[in-house]
């Protein structure tokens, strides 16, 4: 069977067999392993790292005071990884996190998995026990390379001091190129204190790593042909558009082809949601008209998204009338979940540039008119001006209004996440951060920390649930210590709301272990040296938001909401996107 080798040569390298070709580009200086690591990070343009010290990295931390590195001391290593990932998403740079061996390293694992599933470039540096003790179950020894095998794009266990710089060089290249992802570099403690000659290195390539950037022109033409012929085409816009930096090309492509745009959860922001061709969120909690368009389209053009099950619903019912074009830089995504008629393997931006040349200008007014007719006008009108407190949509819309849609908005995981995704209205790329693939509770606050450190010029809000906030509110201390001006909106329903919603809808309201007692979030904020505000009435929403915006430093607003508000619409798990539920229903109606 012919499986195209994505690693086929693009340039020839004669007879060289070394899998890494690293060139020494400068005169050597003698440094400690710790200094070499710092120098190697600096050579990658790293200015900021999120971390937590401990035994195996003490000699590494020894070098920080004299290095050009702003180290941000988090309160839990998992949040170092999340903050680094958020930093990466808002800056376009590789995020860096650091942890000690054993428990420090294992605490990173969830953050690495999160970055893996959301294709975020981070490099994690972990200390390891001294080499003579490796394999002897030494104090704080774990096999972090083995543990993180399936949740990293690649990982390394450094063996020699002279490998530190080349390994870090390669780690950054792998993290940021192709389909980005997390890379872990494990360095034994003794190497940090050893001395060796250091000179900057250059990465020239690795035999087994050849991301395909420029798509095959034949596939591009086939895709364009289908787009030109289609009567009811629909774009499924994913995170890959922003990862590739292809927003401008995408904008042009959308306007030229006249196609309407549905967003995946992470795709939001790649194209202004206020544009007339933007439809909004698709999938499990997508808007009615978006999922209706998916059901009706005759061509689906997926650009830079994997077909995640939260986006597709039941595969058999997904875009049932459509041919599928799939643009993805990762060949393994083609045909993994959804059969594809025309695969275009390559960088989204490169693909868009080429497709732009081949597509014809269209309007698709009739088709777009039909989609508009499918909007849930009753719901939308109700949301526009919902008079009754406490309705969670109102809060999101009020934050949107106050920030003019220009803030970086991050969320935790749960109902509040979906309310935000549905109703903030994302007009700017890389300002919407949420844990998509892994759905990691606790992500909200640390991602706001990472985002604010990365983009101090932008206003940062995080919308969190009372449950998820209790997993990571310790990062208020980090925010206070770093004097970060971030605003935390706690959507406080006293429940693990999303789980309660599923129990409500699919388990006959059997509320098992979802009632969650929280602390007094106002006092909690004050205890951390932050400002706390409580909101219990509709008319308090806007003033509280304005007050939070005017305070320089971390602010927590405790929005006490109706405990049993649900997120609608919803595609029940395992159902087709066309079988959406628009309001409260009981199981018999399923």
Ligand X SMILES: Cc1ncc(C[n+]2csc(CCOP(=O)(O)OP(=O)(O)O)c2C)c(N)n1
Could you list the active site residues? 77, 139-140, 189, 498
User: Which of 291, 493, 503, 576 is close enough to bind ligand X by CB under 6 A?
Assistant: 493
**Which of residues 194, 199, 204, 252 is near other proteins by CB under 8 A?**
204
Residue 390 as a binder of Mg ion (CB under 5 A): the answer is no
CB 177 within 8 A of CB 150: no
Q: Which does 207 bind (CB under 5 to 8 A by kind): Mg ion, ligand X, other proteins, none?
A: other proteins
Q: Are strands 555-560 and 278-281 parallel, antiparallel or unpaired?
A: unpaired
Q: Which stretch binds ligand X (CB under 6 A): 182-190, 216-224, 364-372, 406-414?
A: 406-414
Q: Which two tokens stand for residue 442?
A: 């606790």
- Per-residue H/E/C for 457-473: CCCEEEEEEHHHHHHHC
CA distance 287 to 422: 7
Shortest distance in whole angstroms from residue 584 CB to other proteins:
38
Out of 173, 285, 289, 416, the only residue in the binding site for ligand X (CB under 6 A) is 416
Strands 48-51, 70-73: pairing is parallel
Rounded to the nearest 5°, which phi and psi values hold at 547? -65, -45
Tell me the C-alpha distance between 193 and 290, whole Å: 58
Q: Which of 193, 210, 474, 481 binds other proteins (CB under 8 A)?
A: 210
SS3 sequence of 127-157:
EECCHHHCCCCCCCCCCHHHHCHHHCCEEEE
Binding mask 428-457 for ligand X (x = CB under 6 A): -----------xxx----------------
Single out the segment in contact with ligand X by CB under 6 A; choices: 62-70, 203-211, 261-269, 414-422. 414-422
Q: Which does 450 bind (CB under 5 to 8 A by kind): other proteins, ligand X, Mg ion, none?
A: none
Residue 488, classed as helix, strand or coil, is strand
Give the residue, chosen from 123, 236, 266, 413, that forms a contact with ligand X under the rule CB under 6 A.
413
Please give, one letter per residue, the 3-state secondary structure of 240-280. HHHHCCCHHHHHHHHHHHCCCEEECCCCCCCCCCCCCCEEE
Spell out, one character per residue from 240 to 279, where the chain touches other proteins: x when CB under 8 A holds, - when not. ----------------------------------------
Among 83, 300, 499, 556, binds ligand X (CB under 6 A): 499
| C-beta separation of 268 from 426 below 8 A | yes
Judged by CB under 8 A, the residue of 8, 27, 137, 385 near other proteins is: 8
Q: Which does 208 bind (CB under 5 to 8 A by kind): Mg ion, ligand X, other proteins, none?
A: other proteins
Q: How far is the CB of 339 from other proteins (least distance, A)?
A: 9
String of DSSP letters for 358-390: HPPP---HHHHHHHHHTS-HHHHHHHHT--SS-
Based on CB atoms, which residue is closest to ligand X, 103 or 132?
103
Phi and psi at residue 17, in whole multiples of 5°?
-110, -15
Rounded to the nearest whole angstrom, what is the least distance from the CB of residue 463 to ligand X in the complex? Answer: 9
Q: Which residues contact 401 (CB under 8 A, 6 or more apart)?
A: 542
Applying CB under 8 A, which of residues 81, 105, 124, 174 lies at the interface with other proteins?
Answer: 174
Which of 281, 504, 272, 30 has the alpha carbon at shortest distance from 289? 281
Asked if 171 and 125 touch (Cβ cutoff 8 Å), the reply is: no
160 touches other proteins by CB under 8 A: no
**Cα separation, 382 vs 271, whole angstroms:** 26
Q: Which is nearer to ligand X, 32 or 493 (CB)?
A: 493
Q: Site mask, ligand X, residues 461-490, x = CB under 6 A?
A: ----xxxx----------------------
For tokens 């949040």, name the residue. 79
Chain residues binding other proteins by CB under 8 A are: 1, 3, 5-13, 16-17, 19, 21, 145-146, 149-150, 154, 157, 173-174, 177, 203-211, 213, 330-332, 334-336
Chain residues binding Mg ion by CB under 5 A are: 465-467, 493, 495, 497
């Amino acid at each position: 069977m012919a499986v195209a080798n994505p690693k086929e040569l693009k340039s020839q390298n004669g007879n060289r067999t070394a899998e890494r070709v690293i060139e020494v580009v400068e005169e050597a200086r003698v440094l400690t392993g710790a200094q070499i690591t710092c120098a190697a990070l600096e050579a990658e343009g790293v200015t900021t790292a999120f971390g937590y010290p401990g035994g195996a990295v003490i000699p590494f931390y020894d070098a920080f005071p004299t290095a050009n590195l702003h180290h941000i001391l988090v309160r839990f290593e998992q949040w170092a990884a999340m903050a680094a990932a958020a930093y990466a998403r808002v800056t376009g740079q590789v995020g860096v996190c650091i942890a000690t061996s054993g428990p420090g390293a294992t605490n990173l694992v969830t953050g690495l998995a999160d970055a893996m599933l959301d294709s975020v470039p981070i490099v994690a540096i972990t200390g390891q026990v001294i080499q003579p003790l490796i394999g002897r179950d030494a104090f704080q020894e774990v096999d972090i390379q083995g543990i993180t095998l399936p949740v990293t794009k690649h990982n390394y266990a450094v063996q020699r001091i002279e490998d530190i710089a080349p390994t870090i060089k390669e780690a950054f290249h792998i993290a940021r190129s192709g389909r980005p992802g997390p890379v872990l570099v494990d360095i034994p403690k003794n190497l940090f204190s050893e001395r060796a000659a250091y000179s900057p290195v250059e990465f020239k390539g690795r035999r087994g790593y050849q991301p395909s950037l420029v798509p095959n022109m034949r596939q591009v033409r086939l895709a364009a042909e289908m787009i030109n012929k289609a009567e009811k085409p629909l774009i499924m816009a994913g995170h890959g558009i922003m990862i590739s930096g292809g927003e401008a090309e995408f904008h042009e492509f959308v306007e030229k082809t006249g196609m309407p745009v549905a967003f995946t959860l992470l795709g939001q922001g790649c194209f202004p949601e206020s544009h007339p061709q933007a439809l909004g969120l698709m999938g499990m909690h997508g808007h009615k008209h978006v999922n209706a368009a998916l059901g009706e389209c005759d061509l689906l053009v997926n650009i830079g998204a994997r077909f995640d099950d939260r986006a597709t619903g039941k595969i058999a019912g997904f875009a049932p009338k459509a041919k599928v074009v799939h643009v993805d830089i990762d060949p393994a995504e083609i045909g993994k979940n959804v059969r594809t008629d025309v695969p275009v393997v390559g960088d989204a931006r490169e693909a868009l540039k080429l497709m732009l040349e081949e597509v014809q200008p269209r309007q698709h007014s009739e088709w777009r008119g039909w989609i508009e007719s499918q909007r849930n006008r009753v719901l939308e009108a109700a949301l526009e001006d919902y008079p009754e407190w406490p309705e969670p949509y109102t809060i999101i819309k009020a934050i949107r209004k106050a920030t003019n849609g220009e803030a970086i908005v991050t969320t935790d995981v749960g109902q509040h996440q979906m309310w935000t995704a549905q109703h903030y209205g994302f007009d700017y790329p890389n300002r919407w951060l949420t844990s998509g693939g892994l759905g990691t509770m606790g992500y909200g606050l640390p991602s706001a920390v990472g985002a604010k450190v990365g983009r101090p010029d932008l206003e940062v809000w995080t919308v969190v649930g009372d449950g998820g906030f209790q997993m990571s509110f310790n990062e208020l201390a980090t925010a206070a210590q770093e004097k970060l001006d971030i605003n935390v909106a706690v959507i406080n329903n006293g429940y693990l709301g999303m789980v309660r919603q599923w129990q409500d809808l699919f388990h006959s309201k059997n509320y098992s272990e979802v009632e969650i007692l929280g602390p007094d979030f106002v006092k909690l904020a004050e205890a951390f040296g932050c400002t706390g505000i409580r909101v219990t009435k509709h008319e308090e929403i806007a003033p509280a938001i304005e007050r939070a915006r005017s305070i320089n430093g971390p602010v927590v607003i405790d929005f006490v909401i109706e405990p049993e508000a649900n997120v609608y619409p919803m595609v029940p798990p395992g159902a087709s996107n066309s079988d959406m539920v628009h309001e409260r229903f009981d199981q018999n109606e399923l």
